[in-house]
Amino acid sequence: MISKRFGLEQSKKRETISRKLSRKFTSTHNMTAEEEEKTLSIRQRTLDELVETERTYVKHLRMVVEGHIQLVKNPVDDIPVPDNWNVGDLYKIFGNLESIYKWHRDIFLKQLEKCSTDVNLLGRTYEIHERKMMSMYTRYSHNHDKQKTAATEKFEEYLERLTKKLNYSQQLDELLHKPIQRITVYHLMMDRIHQYTKKLKRPTELESVQRALKVVKDLPRNIDVMMKFRDIMRYKDDNEDHGKVVYHGLLFCVDLEGKKSLKKWNGKTVYVKGELFMVYLFEKNMLFNVVVGKNAKKQPKCFYRNHIPVNNMLFGRVPNCPNTFTVRSSGIGLNPKDAILAYTCRAETPESYTEWMSAIEEVSAQLYRFAVDLQNPMLAQESQRSDSGR
């Protein structure tokens, strides 16, 4: 059941972050006017570099979209499409690069340009686009990792002729690697902006940069998690919106009602080991995937078992049973024919157990805040205006 306490605790943390930063800066060394001007100048150059490299990135994407892809879609007489070319080969080689190009060109570049003159916009800019970026780049990275190499080798001669026709100095492989590189560039550049902002006595700006830094720091890890998730077998709803990854890891689970997966022994609760599962906790769903294979922990091969919607999920700790908790569907809103799912889960270490509890409570708190916002839309709008104005 969603706990009101979690929502209140999270709200208090958000309300007091500026005060904490202010107290921190009160005790720091006061910069001279000359030092502050120099630091501001260096930071501004870095912000300008972020925007300029974004323009260059868009230019490189355009070279592929308006060059190679257009020649494939509209072949010229001297470079016909190979006879063994299939409809799916275009995606195998280029993935969703055209969508990435249009989004960066039409949306993200324009917003970054605004951030170069107002650093307070950085945090919100990256936060509102975090989910879009994760979705686009997960799809691109997964295709790049799984299909692109084989497809480009198959049509190597044809693709080289296209590059020669376009008179590009960069090879197609280099251009196709640009999206993979760009994700790490965001992190490196934001880290530099963060270092310079820390030196300034401007807590509001620092908070904004820290929010942006968190997004670009988490993005590569989340993309890697989602790529592994896309490899899960027998999961058919690959395009379902689960929301952001909150936490994932291995758990020993029993696919039964919690009370049936526990036995009493000499008055103490003893846990039945159960099967090894790779469990993904998203903002909207918690997915349970059974792990198979001899090398299950190091290179887990997963098969989808089932999932529980977060808005229909109950969880609780198991007394007298170390590192163990239960997760079950509440049954509210389910079709009478649908079974109520329940798992008893055991983490391997106390640290892992603590992380799982923290993650589940975080998702519960987010869901509680969402419910409160639905009941008080005016208050939610005022909070959003306050966030954007920070």
Q: Are 145 and 99 in contact (CB under 8 A)?
A: no
Q: Are 18 and 204 in contact (CB under 8 A)?
A: yes
Torsion of CA 365, 205, 208, 389, to 10 degrees: 70
DSSP 179-192: HHHHHHHHHHHHHH
Q: Does domain 245-388 fall into CATH 2.30.29.30?
A: yes
CA 181 – CA 149 distance, rounded (Å)? 17
Alpha-carbon Rg of the chain, whole angstroms? 25
- pLDDT by 10s per residue, the chain, length 390: 334 333 444 444 445 544 554 444 443 457 788 899 999 999 999 999 999 999 999 999 999 999 999 999 999 888 999 999 998 999 999 999 999 999 999 999 999 999 999 999 999 999 999 989 998 999 999 999 988 989 999 999 999 999 999 999 999 999 999 999 999 999 999 999 999 999 998 999 999 999 999 999 999 988 988 888 888 876 665 556 787 888 999 999 988 654 455 555 455 555 557 889 999 999 889 999 999 876 666 667 889 888 899 988 899 888 878 899 999 887 655 444 456 788 999 999 999 999 999 999 998 888 878 777 667 666 545 555 555 444
pLDDT value for 106:
97
CA 205 – CA 25 distance, rounded (Å)? 12
pLDDT value for 311:
87
CA 306 – CA 256 distance, rounded (Å)? 13
Q: How far apart are the first and last CA of the chain?
A: 33
CA 160 – CA 171 distance, rounded (Å)? 8
Q: Are 277 and 253 in contact (CB under 8 A)?
A: yes
pLDDT value for 297:
66
In the chain, what are the domain boundaries? 14-230, 245-388
What are the structure tokens assigned to 144, written together? 């790049």
Fold of 14-230: Dbl Homology Domain; Chain A (1.20.900)
pLDDT value for 306:
87
Give pLDDT tens digits for 131-162: 899 989 999 999 999 889 899 999 999 999 99
Q: Give the max Cα distance, the chain.
A: 84
Give pLDDT tens digits for 281-335: 998 899 999 998 766 666 678 898 888 999 888 998 888 788 999 998 876 554 4
pLDDT value for 182:
96
- 251: phi then psi, degrees, rounded to nearest 5: -140, 145
